[in-house]
Chains A and B, each alone.
Chain A
């Protein structure tokens, strides 16, 4: 029983990581339709922000807390810059954005290598987050609880922004019908940039969380980019809840399969399951009915 509970928690924590890395992408890819291959590098930017902060603020807990909003700003600014420089010229050519953003991601990787050096670096986790809580034989690692909480907080925040704020209403309006939104007086270009800023910023927040799990390196983003796209594609374009459900389902599936087989077999099985699912439901779990998306 404890095995099942422990593994379920592992699955949920893998899901939380997936959700965090995919959340920004649900906005930029899901809502705006931009295939942003540099999303992983925004994650990296967030992680390095944590690292840099820890050089100047030695209290690990404090620097982690400060890193969260700062990483959001850093990654968001990079994203807004990318949107302003390149992507806004390519909204009608989605497959070109794939190549352009991939090139941008390579440049960011090289930039990180030049600034921070090629070897990966690590941050110190605050003592509080290196421990664990045991409840009846089930172990909850504090760092994983923190990531889970952070993921849920981000989902909640994003939902509130999209549902309740004027900005959210504008974003949804542009997604659903760009022409009509423009006619109604919405500056769609500015909305695009803001959406991209938020989406990229969330990648930065994911980067902060990932410093608790593994090393920070120039190519760390490439480890996560495919998983992030998988979550959004399976979840269905344009829908937050699809990504949330998919992230946790994939996480638990991965954990269960990994426990009973090996990592490689589990990875293959999850991919096969995704392919089979998309054959049955090519539009993903949920779809947004709009007039602009095919």
Chain B
């Protein structure tokens, strides 16, 4: 230590250089343009098996949610293979880890299409990751099936959206809150595209429907410091919190929420990204009585659902819950299979042309693909977290709602784009 000469500035320069090099390598991944850009990558359908890509975050802050989606995708692939495959060919899943990092998603998507020559890819959770891979799928004219509720206002010709768009989740949730007389809302979300767009829609809805947004706060994805936000929520006089936090920031948020003395009775939190799996890992003690908005719960009645729950638990363990994004992921593979079989080909253009009107007896009830928007008709459901960690439905829309990603059917949404 005698020869030690280290200045604070030297240290900070060193630390920031490390950070900068990480950022640079990340950018490099994103700009990895290919000379064959613009031409469709040829999916390999020559052998007795075809490869399908599974692109989920198996590590990082989103892994809490995305691993379960990955499991559900594998289950669907297994079921299809057991029933003879698609067009006589068995499916070979190729898993890639997006690592909760958006440029990584783009890089892995490109690898799946170019190197593995997959016939279709299933996955992504956050809208940030979907936005990162969207140009890749469009450039190579390859198909992505996206299984998570999202903020709408998007319609890529190469993406099928099997989760809810806003008029199948957020708008019904707002209708529900309004009916309950909870009209003063505090918006808390992670700082990226989904929460910000969702909150724009919520604010437009609130203005047109006599509700009031009394506060709005965003935390960086992965953030664990929520004491100030919870204090603000507490002082705001809100009737309810509309929560669009993603990943395990929810753990920190609900721990703080409970320990500051707020409860579901005093000020309910309605979450749009917390399903059964997250309830389990956040801890039921923090979430009991809070509200969620989805299209499917493990408790949804019906024989298709009991078969799905049974198959999932047989494969992954008796105590594993099933959730909406898992269900949407599960049906996405089955819907793709039906499209391919109707088209009689793995060809992307033919599959797209065959998609309209495809139905599937899904765990959430029968779903129908809308070929124009490439979204799915779904029933909206509001649920309440019970003491056992499962979510009990307290309201549903009665019938599947037609997808309207640009909210064209809602006059208050005309200013949004």
List the interface of chain A (C-beta within 8 A of B).
3, 6-7, 10, 13-14, 17, 32-33, 35, 37, 91-92, 94-95, 98, 102, 113, 118-122, 124-125, 129-132, 134, 139, 141-144, 174, 178-179, 192, 210, 212-215, 217-219, 223, 226, 229, 233, 237, 254-255, 258-259, 262-264, 278, 282-284, 292-294
How many angstroms from the CA of A262 to the CA of B215 in the assembled complex?
11
How many angstroms from the CA of A237 to the CA of B282 in the assembled complex?
39
Whole-angstrom distance between the Cβ of A148 and the nearest chain B Cβ:
12
B4:A94 contact, CB within 8 angstroms: yes
How many angstroms from the CA of A22 to the CA of B349 in the assembled complex?
57
The residue that B231 contacts in the complex, of A10, A33, A143, with Cβ under 8 A, is A10
How many angstroms from the CA of A192 to the CA of B2 in the assembled complex?
13
B260:A141 contact, CB within 8 angstroms: yes
Complex contacts, B1 vs chain A, CB 8 Å: 32-33, 91-92, 174, 178, 192, 292
A131-B259, A144-B227 are known contacts; what are 7 more A-B pairs with Cβ within 8 Å? A13-B227, A14-B225, A32-B1, A226-B15, A229-B12, A259-B232, A264-B191
The residue that B252 contacts in the complex, of A32, A33, A214, A264, with Cβ under 8 A, is A214
Chain A, Cβ-Cβ closest to B58: A118
Closest 9 CB pairs of A and B: A214-B224, A118-B59, A141-B259, A214-B252, A119-B63, A215-B248, A258-B228, A294-B5, A10-B227
Chain B, Cβ-Cβ closest to A192: B1
Complex contacts, B18 vs chain A, CB 8 Å: 37, 98, 102
A132:B261 contact, CB within 8 angstroms: yes
List the interface of chain B (C-beta within 8 A of A).
1-12, 14-15, 18, 58-61, 63-64, 67, 97, 191, 217-220, 222-225, 227-229, 231-232, 234-235, 248, 251-252, 255-256, 258-261, 281-283, 285-286
The residue that B15 contacts in the complex, of A17, A192, A229, A259, with Cβ under 8 A, is A229
A179:B2 contact, CB within 8 angstroms: yes
How many angstroms from the CA of A84 to the CA of B231 in the assembled complex?
46
Whole-angstrom distance between the Cβ of B249 and the nearest chain A Cβ:
8
Complex contacts, B97 vs chain A, CB 8 Å: 118
Q: Given A132-B260, A259-B228, A292-B4, does the pair A264, B218 have CB atoms closer than 8 Å?
A: yes
Q: Given A10-B227, A32-B1, A35-B11, does the pair A120, B252 have CB atoms closer than 8 Å?
A: no
The residue that A217 contacts in the complex, of B220, B228, B232, B248, with Cβ under 8 A, is B248
How many angstroms from the CA of A292 to the CA of B281 in the assembled complex?
50
Q: Given A120-B61, A141-B260, does the pair A264, B285 have CB atoms closer than 8 Å?
A: no
How many angstroms from the CA of A10 to the CA of B6 in the assembled complex?
34
How many angstroms from the CA of A233 to the CA of B67 in the assembled complex?
39
B261:A255 contact, CB within 8 angstroms: no
Complex contacts, A121 vs chain B, CB 8 Å: 281
A119:B258 contact, CB within 8 angstroms: no
Whole-angstrom distance between the Cβ of A201 and the nearest chain B Cβ:
20
B231:A217 contact, CB within 8 angstroms: no
Whole-angstrom distance between the Cβ of B403 and the nearest chain A Cβ:
31
How many angstroms from the CA of A107 to the CA of B14 in the assembled complex?
20
B232:A92 contact, CB within 8 angstroms: no
B231:A134 contact, CB within 8 angstroms: no
B2:A217 contact, CB within 8 angstroms: no
B259:A142 contact, CB within 8 angstroms: yes
Q: Given A6-B231, A122-B283, A214-B252, does the pair A98, B63 have CB atoms closer than 8 Å?
A: no
B14:A95 contact, CB within 8 angstroms: yes
How many angstroms from the CA of A223 to the CA of B228 in the assembled complex?
18
A113:B59 contact, CB within 8 angstroms: yes
Chain B, Cβ-Cβ closest to A230: B12
Complex contacts, A213 vs chain B, CB 8 Å: 224-225, 252, 255-256
How many angstroms from the CA of A14 to the CA of B225 in the assembled complex?
8
Complex contacts, B285 vs chain A, CB 8 Å: 124, 130
Q: Given A92-B3, A119-B63, does the pair A141, B256 have CB atoms closer than 8 Å?
A: yes
Whole-angstrom distance between the Cβ of B296 and the nearest chain A Cβ:
21
Chain B, Cβ-Cβ closest to A182: B2
B9:A282 contact, CB within 8 angstroms: yes
The residue that A215 contacts in the complex, of B11, B224, B232, B234, with Cβ under 8 A, is B224
How many angstroms from the CA of A252 to the CA of B223 in the assembled complex?
18
Q: Given A122-B282, A214-B248, A292-B1, does the pair A262, B8 have CB atoms closer than 8 Å?
A: no
A122:B281 contact, CB within 8 angstroms: yes
Complex contacts, A214 vs chain B, CB 8 Å: 224, 248, 251-252, 255
The residue that B255 contacts in the complex, of A92, A94, A95, A125, with Cβ under 8 A, is A125
Complex contacts, B235 vs chain A, CB 8 Å: 3, 6
Chain A, Cβ-Cβ closest to B216: A262
How many angstroms from the CA of A18 to the CA of B157 in the assembled complex?
48
Chain B, Cβ-Cβ closest to A175: B1
The residue that B259 contacts in the complex, of A6, A98, A130, A292, with Cβ under 8 A, is A130
Chain A, Cβ-Cβ closest to B16: A226
A294:B6 contact, CB within 8 angstroms: yes
Complex contacts, A212 vs chain B, CB 8 Å: 255
How many angstroms from the CA of A3 to the CA of B233 in the assembled complex?
11
Complex contacts, B4 vs chain A, CB 8 Å: 33, 91-92, 94, 292-294
Complex contacts, A263 vs chain B, CB 8 Å: 191, 217-220, 223, 228-229
Whole-angstrom distance between the Cβ of A264 and the nearest chain B Cβ:
7
Chain B, Cβ-Cβ closest to A143: B259
B228:A35 contact, CB within 8 angstroms: no
* Pairs A–B under 8 Å by Cβ, sample size 10: A10-B228, A91-B3, A92-B3, A98-B14, A120-B64, A214-B255, A215-B64, A215-B281, A262-B218, A264-B191
